Structure 1
């Protein structure tokens, strides 16, 4: 079992969990999801040891699946609502929606302890796709932007992780963050 080291308050949580068995954009929320070590969310179309992303499977089918679980911070929905976009849990394709966890600020390799026993390892940022604009016109520009000063891209559409230890995750389960040893490496697109 991976050791636990609490670095942020336990009040944080996985507020919604979702999965879908088909390559559809949104994922319906569920009463629980089961995480399978080395695979992802049981029954989810993106679960597997190798890439399951619909587009990337066509040209990189044998690469390891670093996108087994998609997490998104619910605070993004609050930000989008201020700009006139109505978005809720699962609608942007995430498996786990959190509140109070600075997902985008985590380093690569951070461990997320969810519920009683599940452990995810953060692999990188979700690279948002143009299908976001099919869901809500103009939304891609709100979750993916080029900083005119630095020239750097900002990705706000969540993070990706792999399952290191399986378990069941339910809405409102606690999420504990375990940071990797220093030096920390910022998240990059996966």
Structure 2
């Protein structure tokens, strides 16, 4: 089964800042992440996770967020352009949060990422814009926590990714495992 969307924007930052500036293109490196990005590496690069155990595998090499979420919060009065939430790839037309663990996204001509889980939003989101955290985390009708701040992935095949590139979704074999924070 394959659904198709596209890349709305790409971003990277060599420093550990919350937001990432957008770029004309990024290069994904197999097993590492985004070339030149502070979060690229075989082992975990997020500072809080490095402090706990620097030998953990990096399941957060590439952060993706859907443009539709940014449009939704913009309509509610927030100003959240691509890259502002720290994502590397802003997508359009792909329901990222509905994907299962192991879903593969073929992006552009060569790049392939595999979805590992949900981004666990942190309080830095309210530091970016007060009140935004409540839009990124909520509860469903059963009282379960719902995280909306995008998905994390690892790079299976490298390649250059640019705005406008197509995204094809390949689902893993069933049974599908729902996304959980990584």
1:44 alignment partner in structure 2 = 37
2:175 matches 1:180: no
Distance across 2 between alignment mates of 1:182 and 1:16:
31
2:143 matches 1:151: yes
- CA deviation after TM superposition for structure 1 residue 146, in Å: 2.8
1:3 alignment partner in structure 2 = none
2:51 matches 1:58: yes
2:99 matches 1:106: yes
2:181 alignment partner in structure 1 = 189
Distance across 1 between alignment mates of 2:76 and 2:24:
30
Distance across 1 between alignment mates of 2:167 and 2:97:
15
Distance across 2 between alignment mates of 1:51 and 1:93:
16
Q: What SS class does the counterpart of residue 47 from structure 2 fall into?
A: coil
Q: RMSD of the alignment, in Å?
A: 0.9
Distance across 2 between alignment mates of 1:105 and 1:157:
13
2:151 matches 1:125: no
* Structure 1 runs of 4+ with >2 Å offset: none
2:28 maps to which of 23, 35, 39: 35
Deviation per CA, 1:5-32: give whole Å up to 9, x if none. Answer: x6114xx101100000001010000010
Q: What SS class does the counterpart of residue 78 from structure 1 fall into?
A: helix
- CA deviation after TM superposition for structure 1 residue 79, in Å: 1.0
- CA deviation after TM superposition for structure 1 residue 82, in Å: 2.3
Distance across 1 between alignment mates of 2:111 and 2:159:
4
Structure 2 segments unaligned to the other structure (5+ residues): none
The TM-score normalised by the length of structure 2 is 0.98
Structure 1 segments unaligned to the other structure (5+ residues): 1-5
